[in-house]
Amino acid sequence: MLENNDEKLVVAISSRALFDLEESHNVFIDQGVEAYCRYQIQQENSTLEPGVAFPLVQKLLSLNELSGQQQVEVVLISRNSADTGLRVFNSINDHGLDITRAAFSGGESPFRYIAPFSADLFLSADPLDVRRALDDDIAAATILPSRVTSVPGGPLRIAFDGDAVLFADDSERVYQEQGLEAFVASEKAAAMTPLPGGPFRKFLAALHRLQTSHTTEPGRIRTALLTARSAPAHERVIRTLRAWNIRIDEAVFLGGLDKGSFLATFGADIFFDDQKDHCESARQHVPTGHVPHGVANSE
């Protein structure tokens, strides 16, 4: 184990986000718990294939290797029992991932273990667990199915939507309820007033701490904001980040253009957005996490 770091970034991830467990999950859905348990035990020496978030985890953990300190810890959170979870831990070992802590909840929701692990981010394939984590003020996203993987090697690249992700959904509510003209007028009038923080503000701040740490090689972490906003609604965003004393490396104000090709250009290892249609487009280009938060997810 590398030297402990009190300022480390902690990411909790479900086994279905880390590995491709589609076949196993189908056994559970079609045949029930007992058949699933038998299947996992029979297959416990069969290494699981990487899931959507696997390359992201590799890049996160590589920050420790480069710095010689434990800047990042990845914790496994799983609905498996310890018995059926043995296959998951065997696969972690086979893939050479430095993951040593885990919680196996034996069929119950594992989200309650996220806070005791002091997780800054929770990634899962279960939308209900993600919503519960968000309700507990933990940045969380549902990893969407995708055959697209991030580019191995190079910097860790994380992209965010703005309203209802980095920022609260106050401005988004104005847009949804009163339309674009009212939204632009409201943002222009409030340009000097920082936006309230959204569910991913603390996670962005944690990434910024890593970026500015003397132990992190410059350029190893790149962040980007890709927002549907355009001028003049851009000013409030820029001033908000300045007020938070957080640097974001790249910002793209799309004015409603599709985000997919821009995310591919940035080379995001993961993108977080609250709107399902944006996520559907994004997942065709990069690994994507849906953040079920705010007015767009209130139905």
Pick from 110, 103, 87: nearest CA to 23: 87
Radius of gyration, CA atoms only, the chain: 19
Measured on CA atoms in the order 141, 147, 151, 153, is the torsion positive or negative? positive
| Token reading at 87 | 């296959």
CA distance 284 to 63: 27
161 is catalytic: yes
User: Which backbone phi and psi does 207 adopt, to 5 degrees?
Assistant: -65, -40
CA distance 269 to 67: 20
Single-letter code of the amino acid located at 144: L
Q: How many CA atoms lie within 13 A of 129 on its CB side?
A: 26
* Residue of 120, 129, 161, 274 marked active site: 161
Q: Which residues are catalytic?
A: 161
